[in-house]
Amino acid sequence: MKITDTLSLSFRTIRSNKLRTGITVAIIALGIAALIGINTAIQAISQKFMESFSSMGANGFTIRYRSAFRFDRGELKKEKKDGKKLKKSNVNKPITREQAEAFKQRYNYPAKVSLSLGGGNNNTAAFGNKKTNPTVWVNGGDENYLDLNGYTIAAGRNLNELDVSSGRNVCIIGKDVAEKLFGANTNLEQPLEKIIKVNSIPFRVIGVLQPRGSTFGRSLDNNIITSFNSVRRFFANSASSSFSIGVKSPDIINIETAIGEAEGVFRVIRKNEIKEESNFLIDKSDAFAEMAMRQIGWLTASAVVIGFITLMGAAIGLMNIMLVAVTERTKEVGLIKAIGGKQRNVRWQFLYESILISLMGAVIGIVIGILLGNIVSMLMSTGFVVPWIWVFMGVIICTIVGLAAGVYPAYKASKLNPIEALRYE
């Protein structure tokens, strides 16, 4: 018998047992769909994290006086330097404007530096008789702020050095604010040179930002950007506000050198002693994304466990079906051997059947898993995601499952005595 004859016979047998084949395919598809679906969703989440938290790319970092995700009461943990414990230092000392400006002036590394100050997220903006909800984010920056934070001007211009140094009341507004104050179908240039009121303080609009979408329920377009001097004067609480310093290195290869030099410069500015820890923190721009991905990494392990358990059950079910098939087709096996078929022909026929059933489940499971996983992608406004590595892994795993489940039934069928098989009823 030729391979084509064996494959044709295997296909014919699969079609003739639709119910049993369908149940086995469904079990295998369920396991693969869980594996592919969860990993597709994880890849979509990872993509969104990197877009949200890594606005400066892998070659950027931020100097701040505390981290948004620290729970150590503002004190750095003890670290060792040259085998000696460093003296603890309180990081809850806000970075002042003088310190931030001194860093920008003294930092001689060929990198772009931006100073920024937060103005809170409970602000309102008004124009004429239209007013936003009190949920507008206000951020103060300098001429480099937009570039280092992933914003792009859609209409108008960026802040310049004169805007920053003089602290004049000019601002750049996000898409949500522009639509709320000037209409959903407004021309992007219509808000330019208009006077809006932010918390009853007049600001002249000099630019409108390109939309960036939302992240975890927070719109990145519901914001207003002005100079840090304006924020410091009108929005920030001088007792608790602190400047953040963003640095963007031109080359990712030298990022560690840039961080090391920045730490050395700022330690002097912050008056850290030699044996004292730095009383500020340096976060790489993708650090939050990496931390978040480590936290959700258990989902991958869960998907593997779920898929493994389901596929083990499917393998056992497939083996039982193949053993039943051997018993039902004993006379057929005897006929194949009687007309010259060899043991390997019978063996390969049953192995092909087992592998084909398993691969059918793999294809259906992969399609369902990708579609389900991309529901998360749609909700998070990321592109269509296909986890190719896991797709190939799914095909390989299902092939192995089919092979393992069919080995014993195929061996049993090939060992049947043709004379006794022909007499079997």
**What is the per-residue DSSP string for 159-222?**
--HHHHHHT-SEEEE-HHHHHHHH-TT--TTTTTT-EEEETTEEEEEEEEEPP--EETTEETTS
- Is residue 362 included in any domain, yes or no? yes
Q: Residue 75: which pLDDT band, with cuts at 50, 70 and 90?
A: very low
The confidence score (pLDDT) of residue 72 equals 41
Q: Residue 76: which pLDDT band, with cuts at 50, 70 and 90?
A: very low
Domain that holds residue 391: 3-52+295-423
- 138 and 89, same structural domain? no
- Is residue 403 included in any domain, yes or no? yes
What whole-number distance in Å separates Cα of residue 343 and Cα of residue 306?
A: 37
Q: Confirm if 243 and 180 have CB atoms less than 8 A apart.
A: no
Q: Residue 420: which pLDDT band, with cuts at 50, 70 and 90?
A: low
**203-226: pLDDT as tens digits:** 999 999 998 877 666 788 899 999
Paired strand residues for 207: 156, 172
- 180 and 96, same structural domain? no
- 259 and 198, same structural domain? no
- 280 and 163, same structural domain? no
- Is residue 401 included in any domain, yes or no? yes
**352-383: pLDDT as tens digits:** 888 888 888 889 989 998 898 888 778 776 77
- 314 and 172, same structural domain? no
406 or 209, higher pLDDT: 209
- 148 and 102, same structural domain? no
The confidence score (pLDDT) of residue 31 equals 80
What whole-number distance in Å separates Cα of residue 135 and Cα of residue 4?
A: 68
